[in-house]
Amino acid sequence: MNSTAMSAPSTTHEHKEEEAPNAVWLNGEPLGLDARSLALDRGLHFGDGLFETIACRHGHPRFLADHLARLELGCERLRIEFHAFEALRREIAQLASGAERALLKVLVTRGQATARGYAPRGDERASRIVLRYGWPLEDPRHAADGVAVRIADLVLGENPRLAGLKHLNRLELVLARSELRGSPFLEALLLSSSGRLVSGTMTNVFVVLGTEIRTPRLDRCGVAGVMRRVVMRAAAEEGLAVEEAPLTRADLDAAREIFLTNARIGIWPVCAVQSRTLAPGPITRRLQARIQPWLEGERA
């Protein structure tokens, strides 16, 4: 063998990423060390995290157990090692305390990236952020008279691994929400790439077909909302069955009643789907009445 022959190249093709940037600038200015942790957070770079929006009344966070249960499930599904739930609960209580009306946004991310690239190394430390916002009074006409909605042009991609989670990858909803700009519609309903009805941009949707209440099955995409869960519990207490089922545009067209839910608004009846008009129906009104004391903070 020729002693000058080159040794065989490695067959592992292992590529080692840089562990940390050597400069971080924001809007033309270098960031100090204290700000770098946020600039390097994987939630910012990849949407690698989850969030909850919690409505607070009379200093009390509504349906907190449901929010934290969904957050814990999301961490398990995304394999984010977050265990500071008791500390988070105390922070939420502290920020809610004394506020007559407030909205808290909780974000949990995998934390600061310890290497460049998509793959986490496994040594990241999860981060939590809690923000408090004012919460102006809702327009009472939306709950009383209903809201007009349209069908979004954008369709949602389907990914069962992420279905149901309130993860930070929200660009589809950002684009869908932008379709409402300058229109009379307050919400856009979303279909998936296979033609299933999924949700609104910020709401879950229920339809009444005959005497049956149905809500989209969220096994392919979409967010399983906390108020969706609350309304399903309320329906059960009222002796009303709710079926989670694959729904389509045809089910919207056939529905006698349609209503929307989220943690902030409670229940909004739908009074129009594009050019088709509806009226808030008896089942919608029955469920609104059932959950109203809970929305006022009498139950969490």
- If asked whether residues 153 and 282 sit together in one domain, one would say yes
**Cα Rg, the chain, nearest whole Å:** 23
- If asked whether residues 159 and 242 sit together in one domain, one would say yes
* pLDDT (mean) for 135-144: 96
Asked if the model's pLDDT at residue 163 lies above 90, the reply is: yes
- If asked whether residues 116 and 178 sit together in one domain, one would say no
- If asked whether residues 147 and 82 sit together in one domain, one would say no
Fill in the amino acid letter for 78.
Answer: L
- Grade residue 23 by pLDDT with cuts at 50, 70 and 90: confident
Rounded to whole angstroms, what are the CA distances from 298 to 56, 67, 294?
12, 17, 5
- pLDDT tens digits, one per residue of 117-132: 999 999 999 999 999 9
d(CA 233, CA 242): 9
Is residue 43 included in any domain, yes or no?
Answer: yes
What's the pLDDT score for residue 19?
Answer: 72
- If asked whether residues 118 and 164 sit together in one domain, one would say no
What's the pLDDT score for residue 6?
Answer: 46
- pLDDT tens digits, one per residue of 164-196: 999 999 999 999 999 999 999 999 999 999 999
Asked if the model's pLDDT at residue 208 lies above 90, the reply is: yes
Asked if the model's pLDDT at residue 15 lies above 70, the reply is: no
- Grade residue 219 by pLDDT with cuts at 50, 70 and 90: very high
d(CA 83, CA 106): 15
- pLDDT tens digits, one per residue of 243-272: 999 999 999 999 999 999 999 999 999 999
Asked if the model's pLDDT at residue 227 lies above 50, the reply is: yes
Give the CATH number for residue 211.
3.20.10.10
Which of the listed residues 105, 134, 163 is the one where a domain comes to its end?
134
What's the pLDDT score for residue 8?
Answer: 45
Is residue 10 included in any domain, yes or no?
Answer: no
Asked if the model's pLDDT at residue 72 lies above 60, the reply is: yes
What's the pLDDT score for residue 28?
Answer: 87
Quickly list DSSP for 157-217.
---TTTTB--BS--HHHHHHHHTTTTSS-SEEEEEETTS-EEEESS-EEEEEETTEEEEE-
Mean pLDDT of the chain: 92
- If asked whether residues 130 and 159 sit together in one domain, one would say no
Is residue 49 included in any domain, yes or no?
Answer: yes
- If asked whether residues 62 and 194 sit together in one domain, one would say no
Percent of the chain with pLDDT strictly greater than 90: 85
Phi and psi at 95, nearest 5°, equal -75, -30
Q: Of 300, 266, 43, give the one whose Cα is nearest residue 139.
A: 266
- Grade residue 21 by pLDDT with cuts at 50, 70 and 90: confident
Give the CATH number for residue 127.
3.30.470.10
Given the DSSP bridges, would you call strands 266-273 and 257-262 parallel, antiparallel or unpaired?
A: antiparallel
Full-model pTM: 0.90
Is residue 4 included in any domain, yes or no?
Answer: no
- If asked whether residues 163 and 253 sit together in one domain, one would say yes
Is residue 6 included in any domain, yes or no?
Answer: no
Fill in the amino acid letter for 215.
Answer: T
- If asked whether residues 55 and 100 sit together in one domain, one would say yes
- If asked whether residues 50 and 188 sit together in one domain, one would say no
What's the pLDDT score for residue 173?
Answer: 98
Residue range(s) defining the domain that contains residue 93:
31-134
- Grade residue 18 by pLDDT with cuts at 50, 70 and 90: low
Asked if the model's pLDDT at residue 45 lies above 90, the reply is: yes
Is residue 93 included in any domain, yes or no?
Answer: yes
Is residue 119 included in any domain, yes or no?
Answer: yes
Neighbours of 211 (CB within 10 A): 9
Q: Map tokens 């808030």 to a residue.
A: 280
Asked if the model's pLDDT at residue 11 lies above 50, the reply is: no
Which of the listed residues 119, 134, 149 is the one where a domain comes to its end?
134
Percent of the chain with pLDDT strictly greater than 70: 93
Fill in the amino acid letter for 283.
Answer: I
* pLDDT (mean) for 201-216: 97
What's the pLDDT score for residue 298?
Answer: 59
Question: Collapsing DSSP states into helix, strand and coil, what is residue 109?
Answer: strand
Which of the listed residues 92, 118, 134 is the one where a domain comes to its end?
134
CB contact set of 153 (below 8 Å; sequence gap of 6+): 179
- If asked whether residues 147 and 74 sit together in one domain, one would say no
Quickly list DSSP for 141-170.
HHHHH-EEEEEEEEEE---TTTTB--BS--
Is residue 26 included in any domain, yes or no?
Answer: no
Name beta bridge partners: 270: 147
- If asked whether residues 267 and 285 sit together in one domain, one would say yes
Number of structural domains (the chain) is 2
Given the DSSP bridges, would you call strands 49-57 and 187-192 parallel, antiparallel or unpaired?
A: unpaired
* pLDDT (mean) for 16-23: 69
